[in-house]
Amino acid sequence: MTKRRKFSDQFKAKVALEALRGDRTIQEIAVKHRLHLLPAGVC
């Protein structure tokens, strides 16, 4: 079984700000940061 990755508050804020900026789609941000699409949308 694989271990779940833990993300720092700083990383979460960085991803959230990227999403709010609106320069990229959620899917593009998820691919850039190697995230599953659902967690990227929830951030």
pTM of the model: 0.70
Domain ranges of the chain: 9-42
Q: What is the pLDDT of residues 11-41, one digit of tens each?
A: 999 999 999 999 999 889 989 999 877 655 5
pLDDT at site 41: 53
Q: Which two tokens stand for residue 24?
A: 């990229």
pLDDT confidence of residue 2: 75
pLDDT at 38: 66
Distances from the Cα of 6 to the Cαs of 9, 12, 21, 22, in angstroms? Answer: 10, 10, 24, 25
Residue 43 exposed, middle or buried by CB count within 10 Å (0-12, 13-18, 19+): buried
